Amino acid sequence: MTGTTGPLDATAWDRRYADPAGVWGAAPNVWVVQELGALAPGRAMDLAAGEGRHALWLADRGWKVKAVDFSSTGLEVGRNVATAQALGENIEWIVQEATAITPEPGSADLVLVAYLQLPATQLQAAVTVAAGALAPGGRFLFVSHDASNLEHGTGGPQDPAVLQTPAQVAGWLRAAGMSILSAETRTRAVAGKLRPALDCVVVAQASPGDNERNRA
């Protein structure tokens, strides 16, 4: 949920996450619930986890989650909630910039990247490396503010450099060797706003391993 271009950005997000009112709220994103709610739990990486709302939601459903963000304050908010909800053993909180992660190949059954705000070159690099963490047949969910949201939607960044199209992100994931299950702009209602938000939502899957192909 947070972007990164340097340590000053992490400091700025630390200040935002220090607000007792919170930044993103506790409820998971609607597309996260829609796309992941029916999956059997396994090992997940939540990249740009922010205050951990999605990591907490996944952990509550039985997932073992690595929640990664460059804001130590944001992750501390999530860690405190996890402790209060007895979910602490299911989440590992990792302070790390999205562009500097080095996940172990095959270490995740799910990678979630939700609202990571980076310029295209940096975002593609982060997405590609994160995709490499997936085990055979693993799922990748990418959610962001769509490029069309700037003109036709509500909220979100006002810098077109950090906005994407589904075709753009799908191209990155195909180049990383993944199959695209869906890539589309979706409309999300926003409370108190006449216009909806427009989100870029891409779902992809890692190639199956030899054992899965043999069973097919």
Residue 77 exposure: Cα atoms within 13 Å on the Cβ side: 24
CA quadruple 69, 74, 80, 81: dihedral, nearest 10: -90
**Cβ proximity of 95 and 48 under 8 Å:** no
**Rounded distance between C-alpha atoms, residue 125 and residue 134, angstroms:** 15
Bridge-partner residues for 43, per DSSP?
Answer: 64
Residue 100 exposure: Cα atoms within 13 Å on the Cβ side: 11
**pLDDT 10s digits, 134-165:** 999 999 999 999 999 999 999 889 999 999 99
Pairing of the two strands 91-95 and 108-114: unpaired
Question: Which band of pLDDT confidence, cut at 50, 70 and 90, is reported for residue 209?
Answer: confident
Query: Which one is predicted more confidently, 12 or 54?
Result: 54
**pLDDT 10s digits, 27-54:** 899 999 999 999 999 999 999 999 999 9
pTM, two decimals, is 0.89
Tokens of 100: 């500097």
Domains of the chain in start order, with CATH, are 7-215 (3.40.50.150)
**Rounded distance between C-alpha atoms, residue 54 and residue 148, angstroms:** 25
CB atoms within 10 A of CB 187: 13
Comparing CA positions, the residue from 216, 194, 189, 174 lying closest to residue 29 is 189
**Rounded distance between C-alpha atoms, residue 55 and residue 191, angstroms:** 24
In terms of phi and psi (left: phi > 0; alpha: psi -120 to 50; beta: otherwise), the region of 166 is alpha
**pLDDT 10s digits, 64-107:** 999 999 999 999 999 999 999 999 999 999 999 999 999 999 99
Beta-carbon contacts of 147 under 8 Å, excluding residues fewer than 6 positions away, are 160, 163, 164, 165, 168, 200
Comparing CA positions, the residue from 117, 114, 101, 160 lying closest to residue 12 is 117
174 pLDDT exceeds 80? yes
